[in-house]
Amino acid sequence: MADRSFSRAPSAIPVDDAVLPFEIASLDLRGRLVKLGPLLDVILAKHDYPLAVSKLLGEAIVLTALLGSALKFNGRFILQTQTDGPVSLIVVDFRVPGALRAYARYDRDRLRDGQKTGELLGRGHLAMTIDQGGAMSRYQGLVALNGGTLEDAAHEYFLRSEQIPTRVRLAIGEELDQGDPRPHWRAGGLLLQFLPKAPERARQADLHPGDAPAGTAIHTVAEDDAWTEGQALIETVEDVELIDPDLSGERLVYRLFHERGVRVFATQPLGAKCSCSRDAVASMLKSFAPNDRADMVEDGRVKVTCEFCSSTYEFTPEEAGVEQA
Ligand SMILES: [Zn+2]
């Protein structure tokens, strides 16, 4: 980080598929803004998902980009939901410095018009895994999903696991360009964290004890004024601003925080990239039990399709290590 600061007007040029980190030093706030455009079309076009599933997966991709882009080392951040709703599984994988891939599993017969995130997911859990690769340890945090949004789950995760006061906003929508019959996906997200030097300033009000018996005293904590102000500011962001293709990230961040002085850092580009390969699939096949390998032979070939990017890899039974009877 440069130790010489200077002021300039916010850039008016929108940058898609990128993360913009920023800091409001006077309030001890740090944050990241993500704007996604073409990357979403690339990932979602690889699958023939119904609209509601694409939308939900898109939100999960935004959340993963917001969280994964905090990683400094080489590694991966994996967000995964496992639930009993119509969308039973979501996996989004972020590889440093900015490669994203994602897929969802769903039951078409249980999809209905107008289902909200909570209804699509149902009950289960959200897991966030940080994998630093090699001999380094894996870290996994879990939060329950009980019919709420992905934003709710992220708040709960930061409250319980990291104890960092955090607010997240996510938005996604489809946009029709003039002269282009196909709609294009756009999404945006904003993450704000309160990181005071004195840890006691980071105390947070606990979640409301919804099922506590009547008359139970609710544990109240007065939150720090700086954090109260930060939360109020992030609440003023409108979904249309987060997905607006003509509004630059710098302008949006400036609009929100300029009165307190906001500093932006270099944007981190993001891209849709899968890490599958023929070699990796071949070695995965070799790790299977011989019977399972033999069961995969169809019309004299073994075919494996990558769930993330839908690439199909074909092997002869011999190449796949199938023992001939
Ligand atoms: Zn792939």
Tell me the pLDDT tens digit for each residue of 228-259: 999 999 999 999 999 999 999 999 999 999 99
Of 87, 207, 101, 110, the closest CA to residue 156 belongs to 207
Cα 136 to ligand 1 centroid, rounded to whole Å: 24
Please say if the pLDDT value at position 160 is more than 70: yes
Cα 94 to ligand 1 centroid, rounded to whole Å: 13
Instruction: Tell whether the torsion through CA atoms of 320, 321, 324 and 325 is positive or negative.
Output: negative
Cα 285 to ligand 1 centroid, rounded to whole Å: 15
Which residues, including other chains, have CB under 8 Å from residue 285's CB and lie 6 or more apart? Answer: 293, 296, 302, 304, 315, 320, 321
Instruction: Tell whether the torsion through CA atoms of 196, 95, 169 and 155 is positive or negative.
Output: negative
CA distance 126 to 142: 6
Cα 305 to ligand 1 centroid, rounded to whole Å: 8
pLDDT digits (tens, 9 = 90+) for 46-86: 998 999 999 999 999 999 999 999 988 789 999 999 999 99
Cα 51 to ligand 1 centroid, rounded to whole Å: 22
Cα 99 to ligand 1 centroid, rounded to whole Å: 12
Cα 303 to ligand 1 centroid, rounded to whole Å: 14
pLDDT digits (tens, 9 = 90+) for 119-156: 999 999 999 999 887 777 788 899 999 999 999 999 99
Cα 91 to ligand 1 centroid, rounded to whole Å: 13
Cα 264 to ligand 1 centroid, rounded to whole Å: 34
Cα 43 to ligand 1 centroid, rounded to whole Å: 11
Q: In which band, very low, low, confident or very high, does the pLDDT at 24 lie, cut at 50, 70 and 90? A: very high
Please say if the pLDDT value at position 41 is more than 50: yes
Cα 273 to ligand 1 centroid, rounded to whole Å: 8
* Total residue length of the chain: 325
Question: Tokens in use for 129?
Answer: 């895994």
pLDDT of residue 213: 63
Cα 322 to ligand 1 centroid, rounded to whole Å: 23
Mean pLDDT, the chain, as a whole number? 91
Cα 39 to ligand 1 centroid, rounded to whole Å: 15
Question: Three-state SS string across the chain, please?
Answer: CCCCCCCCCCCCCCCCCEEEEEEEHHHCEEEEEEEECHHHHHHHHCCCCCHHHHHHHHHHHHHHHHHHCCCCCCCEEEEEEEECCCEEEEEEEEECCCEEEEEEEECHHHCCCCCCHHHHHCEEEEEEEEECCCCCCEEEEEEEEECCCHHHHHHHHHHHHHCCCEEEEEEEEEECCCCCCCCEEEEEEEEEEECCCCHHHHCCCCCCCCCCCCCCCCCCCCCCHHHHHHHHHHHCCCHHHHHCCCCCHHHHHHHHHHHHCCEECCCEECEECCCCCHHHHHHHHHHCCHHHHHHCEECCEEEEECCCCCCEEEECCCCCCCCCC
Neighbouring-strand partners of residue 101:
93
CA distance 263 to 258: 9
pLDDT of residue 132: 83
Which residues, including other chains, have CB under 8 Å from residue 24's CB and lie 6 or more apart? Answer: 30, 31, 230, 257, 260, 261, 262, 263
Cα 310 to ligand 1 centroid, rounded to whole Å: 6
Q: In which band, very low, low, confident or very high, does the pLDDT at 264 lie, cut at 50, 70 and 90? A: very high
Interval 7-34 mean pLDDT: 95
Please say if the pLDDT value at position 201 is more than 70: yes
* φ and ψ at residue 264, rounded to 5 degrees: -105, 155
Cα 103 to ligand 1 centroid, rounded to whole Å: 10
Cα 307 to ligand 1 centroid, rounded to whole Å: 7
pLDDT of residue 2: 46
Cα 101 to ligand 1 centroid, rounded to whole Å: 8
pLDDT of residue 1: 47
Interval 206-227 mean pLDDT: 69
> Are the C-beta atoms of 30 and 158 separated by less than 8 Å?
no
Q: In which band, very low, low, confident or very high, does the pLDDT at 217 lie, cut at 50, 70 and 90? A: low
Cα 67 to ligand 1 centroid, rounded to whole Å: 22
> Are the C-beta atoms of 260 and 22 separated by less than 8 Å?
no
Please say if the pLDDT value at position 317 is more than 50: yes
